[in-house]
Copies of this chain bind each other. A is one copy, B any other.
Amino acid sequence: MGEAKTFKSHIDALIIGAGPSGLMAAYWMARCGIKARIIDKRGTKVFTGQADGLRSRTLELFDSMGIQHRILHEGHIAVEVNFWVPGKNGTLIRQGTHTPAKVNESPYHSTLLNQGRIERFILDSIRQHSKLEVERGIIAESLEYDENLEDDPTAYPITVQLRTLDGDEVKLTGSPGNGDGSTTVHNGLDRSNLLVDDWDDLIQRSRSHQAKVEIVKAKYLIGCDGAHSWTRKQLNIPLEGSSTDHIWGVMDIIPITDFPDIRRISTVTNVSGTMLVIPRERHLVRLYVPVHVVDTATGGQFDRSTITLDMIRKRVQNILSPYSFEFRICDWWTAYRVAQRIAPTFSKGSRIFLAGDAVHTHSPKVGLGMNISMQDGFNIGWKIGLVAAGTAHPSILETYNPERHRLAEMLLEFDRHWSKSFTDDKLHAVGTSEKTKSMIQVVEMFEDFADGLKVFYGASLLVWKNDGEDGPAVARRLIPGERFPPAKLRNQAEGRTEWTTRLLESDGRFHVVLLAGDVRVEAQRRRIERLSCFLAGQDSCLTRYASIPGRFHSPILLVTIHSAPWREAEFFQFPDVLRPLDPVMGWDYSRIWCDDVCIWDRECDGQTYAKWAADRTRGAVVVVRPDQYIGWVGELEDADALTRYFDGVLLKK
């Protein structure tokens, strides 16, 4: 018995937890080329079950990571939401159907796919860009943080002791699946939050035998370790919020039912309750049903063993009646308790950050939780990546907390409203059409937020707000703090088309997007010349900042989008700095794009400037952050302000 050798290593960043938020953060470590590790207590990745809903904004980010084509190939797209309520004589009727008003503001639409495949795609992308691998079956058992070292960029203020679990320990226990006997069922109770946290148990057990123990010194730590977050507990950060927990059952099954909307997103309300239908890939359908309420204020506990697959099946049969409902194949099922809770802060000092379920919990029924969690990881990931790479000021890390906390609050508010429509009997009593109306209202109220079309990032050194809610006069719909609205453009030299989500690849660089306007107009060409002259200068913002070591000489990439007809412009008529020459790779044809119709691609409709409310003649200059959010917008004459923006964000050479 006793400890094995103790290793000691120094790394830039340690990520605890390889779920969606941890993997998104790890993606950035891979792209920025910093020394990072990502550990997970479980011995294998998730293969099925768990979260499944991908919203537009997440899909846009996936496109910028180069994996969206795989989602499109395997996922199930479902846009409309249907509302079923009791009709006359014990029937159920489809009372309303809701289609998102701004459904075409994104190239991608709500897609359902199991978490296992989603994590697979992110892992493949990480592997493509680095040697970073998830280390599974490893647990953290102590965390020390020396705040005195915070301000020294070369210091390692974080000390974590890691312990490698043995094979048996990483197979966490859960209750056996109980299908109808004829089926093999994977249940997800081992990862359900109904389980008491097993972290301490695992540490105790692994101490009783020979285990590899390791001390890691890190500059940054990201805790992505879920609702029971060990990291959060070490930091004494509480979760605050609702005192009522609802217990929900969920199952992924292949349905045998004559209910017409079993393959469409639907809510079904009946005298015996309300359920949610989510169609999925490979004939699967996910069903959510509320099964119990626990009052935590009175110390309410709940006996998990009372929830079985058969119990969930019967609840669904009751709600769907008079339609028939049965299944032979259950891919996965679980139960979990739901409460809206949030941590008051998502960070500790300037070096430790928490993301995803570790800092906000809520019901999964809005199909948004995994999205917000992934976007948390995406947000902190690039910031730590660039700071650890020695490219960006450490102060950009201060923007994580305000940017993501506000989003998490919105998420909880949405969930409170939405969950209430499922469980509030008062609403039920007011009559079915009122209930449907109220549900549609909730969906509409939070729609832009849910799809990520509205983001709410406040002013900071990364977001230079203009006066008022809109963007500046030259491009009113390009609003600092909001996402860069996707558009499909035509490449000037090549004629091929591409979405900006793919064009502005998430590779760690900021993009300066020059909306060059109408290059047929001589006065405009002179404006472009003047700006280009400035940018080509010795100490311009394109050349003055530290590199991303081993990746890019400059952390800023300049991309031009003009508004003249494609056939009336030529690549070589643009100033050199807009289309640089590499001695080996030749001219960079991917830098000049055009907002014009492409007759063989309907999505490329020449409406980009209009969509952005940008002046078609005079254009604008836009800073797009590495995560595709808008940082700054100005005119072609505002090069000094542009430089000041970057001086506040990036380190000089």
Docked CA distance A496–B80 (Å): 10
**A109 interfacial by beta-carbon distance below 8 Å:** yes
**A160 interfacial by beta-carbon distance below 8 Å:** no
Residues of A568-605 contacting chain B, CB below 8 A? 570-572, 581, 583-587, 589, 599-600, 602-603
**A494 interfacial by beta-carbon distance below 8 Å:** yes
Q: Indicate if the CB atoms of A283 and B585 lie closer than 8 Å.
A: yes
**Chain B residue at minimum C-beta to C-beta distance from A588:** B283
**A255 interfacial by beta-carbon distance below 8 Å:** yes
Residues of A257-313 contacting chain B, CB below 8 A? 257-258, 260, 262-264, 279, 283
Q: Indicate if the CB atoms of B493 and A264 lie closer than 8 Å.
A: yes
The 4 closest A-B pairs by CB, nearest first: A256-B586, A263-B494, A103-B600, A69-B73
**A337 interfacial by beta-carbon distance below 8 Å:** no
A274 → B minimal CB distance (Å): 22
Q: Indicate if the CB atoms of B600 and A493 lie closer than 8 Å.
A: no
- CB < 8 Å: which of B78, B99, B329, B589 contacts A494? B78
Give the number of copies in the complex.
2
The secondary structure that dominates the A interface is mixed
Ordered by A's residue number, 17 sampled pairs between the chains whose C-beta atoms are within 8 Å are: A69-B70, A76-B494, A78-B494, A78-B495, A79-B495, A97-B567, A103-B599, A103-B600, A256-B581, A256-B586, A263-B589, A264-B493, A279-B494, A283-B585, A328-B583, A329-B585, A602-B602
Docked CA distance A250–B491 (Å): 26
A473 to chain B: which residues have CB within 8 Å? none
**A558 interfacial by beta-carbon distance below 8 Å:** no
Number of interface residues of A (CB under 8 A): 49
- CB < 8 Å: which of B104, B571, B572 contacts A599? B104
**A254 interfacial by beta-carbon distance below 8 Å:** yes
**A213 interfacial by beta-carbon distance below 8 Å:** no
**A72 interfacial by beta-carbon distance below 8 Å:** yes
**Chain B residue at minimum C-beta to C-beta distance from A265:** B495
Q: Indicate if the CB atoms of B78 and A496 lie closer than 8 Å.
A: yes
Given known pairs A254-B585, A260-B570, A586-B254, the reply for A600 and B495 (CB within 8 Å) is no
- CB < 8 Å: which of B76, B493, B584 contacts A263? B493
Q: Indicate if the CB atoms of B254 and A76 lie closer than 8 Å.
A: no
Q: Indicate if the CB atoms of B99 and A599 lie closer than 8 Å.
A: yes
Docked CA distance A263–B495 (Å): 8
Docked CA distance A587–B256 (Å): 7
The interface bits of chain A over 235-264 (1 if a CB of B lies within 8 angstroms of the residue's CB, else 0) are 000000000000000000011111010111
A267 → B minimal CB distance (Å): 16
**A77 interfacial by beta-carbon distance below 8 Å:** yes
Docked CA distance A248–B540 (Å): 48
Q: Indicate if the CB atoms of B603 and A260 lie closer than 8 Å.
A: no
A80 to chain B: which residues have CB within 8 Å? 495
| Residue among A79, A496, A589 with the highest chain B CB neighbour number at 10 A | A496
A86 → B minimal CB distance (Å): 19
- CB < 8 Å: which of B99, B581, B602 contacts A603? B602
- CB < 8 Å: which of B69, B79, B257 contacts A69? B69
- CB < 8 Å: which of B79, B254, B493 contacts A260? B493
Residues of A45-74 contacting chain B, CB below 8 A? 69-70, 72-73
A264 to chain B: which residues have CB within 8 Å? 493-495
**Chain B residue at minimum C-beta to C-beta distance from A253:** B586
Residues of A125-171 contacting chain B, CB below 8 A? none
| Residue among A80, A109, A586, A602 with the highest chain B CB neighbour number at 10 A | A586
A283 to chain B: which residues have CB within 8 Å? 585-586
**Chain B residue at minimum C-beta to C-beta distance from A80:** B495
A604 → B minimal CB distance (Å): 11
Docked CA distance A254–B109 (Å): 37
Q: Indicate if the CB atoms of B254 and A584 lie closer than 8 Å.
A: yes
A566 → B minimal CB distance (Å): 10
Docked CA distance A212–B593 (Å): 58
A364 → B minimal CB distance (Å): 22
- CB < 8 Å: which of B78, B329, B572 contacts A584? B329
Docked CA distance A255–B263 (Å): 51
Q: Indicate if the CB atoms of B77 and A496 lie closer than 8 Å.
A: yes
